[in-house]
Amino acid sequence: MSEELSPSEVARRLGTSTRSVQRWIASGAMPARRVGGRWRVAFDAIGASETPAVVTGTTKDRPIGVLFIANRGEIATRITRTCDRLGIRAVAPPTEGPDAIDLLDAEAVIAAARDADADALHPGFGFLAENADFAERVIDAGIRWVGPPPEAIRAMGDKAASRKLAAGLGITVPAGYDDDDQSDAALVKAADRIGYPLLVKPAAGGGGKGMRTVRFADRLPMDLAAARREAQAAFNDDRLILERLLEGARHVEIQVLFDGLGIGVHLGERDCSIQRRHQKVVEEAPSPAVDAALRRAMGEAALALASAVAYVSAGTCEFLLDDRGTFTFLEMNTRLQVEHPVTELTTGRDLVADQLRIAAGETLGFSQADVDLDGHAIEVRLYAEDAEHGFLPATGRIERLRWPSGEGLRVDAGVAEGDEVGGRFDPMLAKIIARGHDRAEALDRLTRALDQTVVLGLTTNLRFLRWLVREPVVRDGEARTDVLDRIWPPDDWTQRARIPDAVWSTAARALLAEDDRGAATTAAPRQDGFRLNAAPAIRLVSDDETRTVRLSPGSVRTRAEIVRAGDTVHLDFAGRSTAFRVAPPPDVDRAASAAAAHAGGRTELVAPMPGQVLRIHVAVGSSVNTDDPIVTLEAMKMEHVVGSPRPGHVTAISVGEGDQVTRGDVLGVVDDAGP
């Protein structure tokens, strides 16, 4: 049997560093196997004085012929686009239907990659991208991992450990708590020392999942419990850290790129300050607040952090930046970021192609001096969510879809017309990106692009995005992480969002199937509003409003994108897909219930989103105050608490823990009177 050596023993025989050997193993350039928790290298795999081809950079290791994409949606489409250009066959597994692969089942994913004869596996972002155990399994299966070494993922994926690493390198971190004692008592004591407001964050994850902003001490125990549940569900690890909330700061991140030799560069910064619930909405490069000197300092800090964990491939170091130019380390994302297109458009690089070259054993091939930032790029994320009702996720079928086109525009989309958008996956539908010679031109192009975009059939955040890119704080580049809390929704939004008469009339004509001359066509049903010697009338319902619409020859109508799907008309109202249906006949019980609610006596609590009932906080007969929790719903491993709208007594609970509900389902009733 061949002699097996540890990485340090291999390094001594080859006259190189242990870290270099670990990189070669992680990238697949040096065959190795795991024995227990340690790597072992067969001596005859390297020879007494032979180093892998990756050391010299003169020849490629093994070119990638087939790439398995362990992801879905827009990132799978985007990776495939680069593979097509490079002549690599991309294989993305089905995630719906009888042959669907569960992307959270590591063994199923690896088996599918083997069946596809894949040379390499790209995890995209989310799902398995930051799972060190999965990366190890991929490498052990003889498939190259397109990403950093598992050891680097572990080192930077643990938020407590990465805080300590950054502090040890002299990089500022927020005041916080990252000790092993995870008892409520220890966390409450630490919170008192740190001070409020503070953030509760899962130690093992990112992407905003499990994060809670806590402003008052009496809320901390409840938020700790909720954060632990979400962290366990999302990351299989319920450890938490605490950090002082730095309000009014910018969120600025640095893109880094390292090859298997440890040679790395940074590709400038991205400003991701416009967020909601710690998830990014708008990203741009470069940041309006970063000059050359600050960029150099932040870049050097990011390179130092990545080098300290023997990083390979693309990664991002995230910082908070205050108005004095002081930056504070938050975390490192050990994967390709959602917002990578703005870096590509300002550097001229294809980061996926860079990742694939590095995974194939090639050296970086350029230096920091070769990185040239040119122009400005801004990206928005189009979500299936209702920004006007707490950014809750939405579901539905895409009945009509139109993407923008024009100079300087790029759309990375993961959906097509006719697709059904459910609640199983992240609600991001696409990214719309605009590039310009300067920031003003990029913003102008993005604004026009959003005005051209049409999505009908389900609720999206498009109307919100159209409003946002026109706001002065965004146009002036003055956004901070708390900007949406301060400006959304504007005071006049209720009036601006009210459906105009012309929109009601247009929807009514579509439901009556009238032609342009005002005559009903043969497609119209008999309940088409016909009235002898009177203008046709029809009762419509849209959202929570019901209205009788009378159509006279001079009725106003609006020029808007519109599509009819069965008994429903979907109309684009300023970017929001607004559904109109024929209202049901008047109902005595419904009318009595509505009258009671209007009088303040009784309120039905309805589900604001589809999801699963995770917890019922009260029993029938309980007294509640305004905002007291009634039911907690879970969707996509994130929780939403439905609270009481006013003081009263709980007179009914209509669901049980574990039940699946859809938006609008009645959860319970709060009444002024007792049970």
Helix axes 18-27 and 7-14, enclosed angle (nearest 10):
110
Residue 417's identity, in one-letter code, is E
Chain CA centroid to CA 558, Å:
34
What Å distances lie between residue 5 and 8, 40, 43, CA to CA? 8, 5, 7
Question: Domain segments of the chain: what residues?
Answer: 1-53, 60-146, 175-244, 250-496, 501-582, 588-671
Q: Are 284 and 247 in contact (CB under 8 A)?
A: no
List Cβ neighbours of 430 (8 Å cut-off, separation of 6 or more): 74, 381, 382, 403, 411, 412, 413, 414, 415
**156-170 per-position pLDDT tens digit:** 999 999 999 999 999
Q: What is the rounded distance in angstroms from the CA atom of residue 556 to the CA atom of residue 501?
A: 8
User: Strands 250-258 and 38-42: what pairing?
Assistant: unpaired
Task: Please provide the distance, in angstroms rounded to a whole number, between the alpha carbons at the two ends of the chain.
Answer: 79
| Average pLDDT rounded to a whole number, residues 397-417 | 97
526 pLDDT above the threshold of 70: no
Q: Are 663 and 421 in contact (CB under 8 A)?
A: no
DSSP per position, 9-75: HHHHHHTS-HHHHHHHHHHTSS--EEETTEEEEEGGGTTTT---HHHH-SS-SS---EEEE---HHH
Q: Are 202 and 235 in contact (CB under 8 A)?
A: yes
User: Which of 426, 394, 422 shows the shortest CA–CA distance to 608?
Assistant: 394
Alpha helices in 521-618, H assignment, sequence order:
588-598
Residue with tokens 């008592």: 185
List Cβ neighbours of 364 (8 Å cut-off, separation of 6 or more): 257, 258, 259, 261, 263, 264, 265, 354, 358
What pLDDT does residue 58 have? 32
What pLDDT does residue 596 have? 56
| Average pLDDT rounded to a whole number, residues 275-298 | 95
Cβ count near 358 (within 10 Å): 25
> CATH classification of 60-146, choosing from 3.40.50.20, 3.30.530.20, 2.60.40.420, 2.60.40.1120?
3.40.50.20
Tell me if 60-146 shares its fold with 588-671: no
Q: What is the rounded distance in angstroms from the CA atom of residue 433 to the CA atom of residue 285?
A: 11
**5-49 per-position pLDDT tens digit:** 888 777 766 656 676 677 777 766 678 887 766 778 886 655 433
What pLDDT does residue 42 have? 80
Name the CA dihedral angle for 13, 14, 20, 24, rounded to a multiple of 10 degrees.
-100
E-strand stretches of 240-348: 240-244, 250-258, 264-276, 279-285, 313-321, 327-333
Helix axes 132-140 and 106-115, enclosed angle (nearest 10):
30
Q: What is the rounded distance in angstroms from the CA atom of residue 506 to the CA atom of residue 514?
A: 10
List Cβ neighbours of 512 (8 Å cut-off, separation of 6 or more): 520, 524, 528, 529, 536, 538, 551
What Å distances lie between residue 101 and 93, 113, 152, 183, 382, CA to CA? 6, 11, 27, 38, 25
Q: What is the rounded distance in angstroms from the CA atom of residue 329 to the CA atom of residue 349?
A: 26
CATH class for domain 1-53? mainly alpha
Give percent of the chain above pLDDT 70. Answer: 88
Is the model more confident about 521 or about 550? 550
Residue with tokens 């001070």: 195
Note the residue count of the chain.
675
What Å distances lie between residue 113 and 74, 110, 116, CA to CA? 20, 5, 5
Query: Mean pLDDT, the chain, as a whole number?
Result: 88
What pLDDT does residue 46 have? 57
Residue 48's identity, in one-letter code, is A
Helices H / strands E in the chain, number of each: 20, 38
Tokens found for residue 192 = 């008192």
In this prediction the pTM is: 0.84
Residue with tokens 């001594």: 12
Architecture of domain 175-244: 2-Layer Sandwich (3.30)
Tokens found for residue 613 = 């009932």
CATH 3.40.47.10 is right for the domain spanning 588-671:
no
Give CB contacts under 8 A, 24+ apart, made by 179-182.
Answer: 182/238, 182/239, 182/240
Confidence of residue 518 (pLDDT cuts 50, 70, 90): very low
Tokens found for residue 665 = 């389902």
Instruction: Using alpha carbons only, give the angle 52, 310, 176 rounded to the nearest 5 degrees.
Output: 170
Confidence of residue 521 (pLDDT cuts 50, 70, 90): very low
CATH 3.30.1480.10 is right for the domain spanning 250-496:
no
Tokens found for residue 41 = 């290298």
Cβ count near 218 (within 10 Å): 7
Give CB contacts under 8 A, 24+ apart, made by 226-229.
Answer: 226/632, 226/639, 227/200, 227/201, 227/202, 229/614, 229/639
- Comparing 66-70, 494-498, 540-544, 585-589, which segment has the lowest mean pLDDT? 585-589
Residue 198 burial (10 A CB sphere; 0-12, 13-18, 19+)? buried
**Phi-psi domain of 406 (left: phi exceeds 0; alpha: psi -120 through 50; beta: other):** left
Q: Over the range 264-285, which residues count as b (16 or more CB within 10 Å of their CB) and which as e?
A: bbbbbbbbbbbbbebbbbbbbb
Q: What is the rounded distance in angstroms from the CA atom of residue 164 to the CA atom of residue 172?
A: 10
**535-565 per-position pLDDT tens digit:** 788 999 998 899 999 888 767 778 889 999 9
Q: Are 464 and 389 in contact (CB under 8 A)?
A: no
Tokens found for residue 60 = 């490629």
**635-671 per-position pLDDT tens digit:** 766 778 898 888 999 999 999 999 988 877 899 999 8
DSSP per position, 467-500: HHTTSHHHHTT---TTHHHHHSS-TTHHHHTSPP
Helix axes 351-359 and 340-347, enclosed angle (nearest 10):
90
Is the model more confident about 551 or about 316? 316
Instruction: Using alpha carbons only, give the angle 25, 29, 32 rounded to the nearest 5 degrees.
Output: 40
Peptide bond into 286 cis (omega under 30): yes
611 pLDDT above the threshold of 90: no
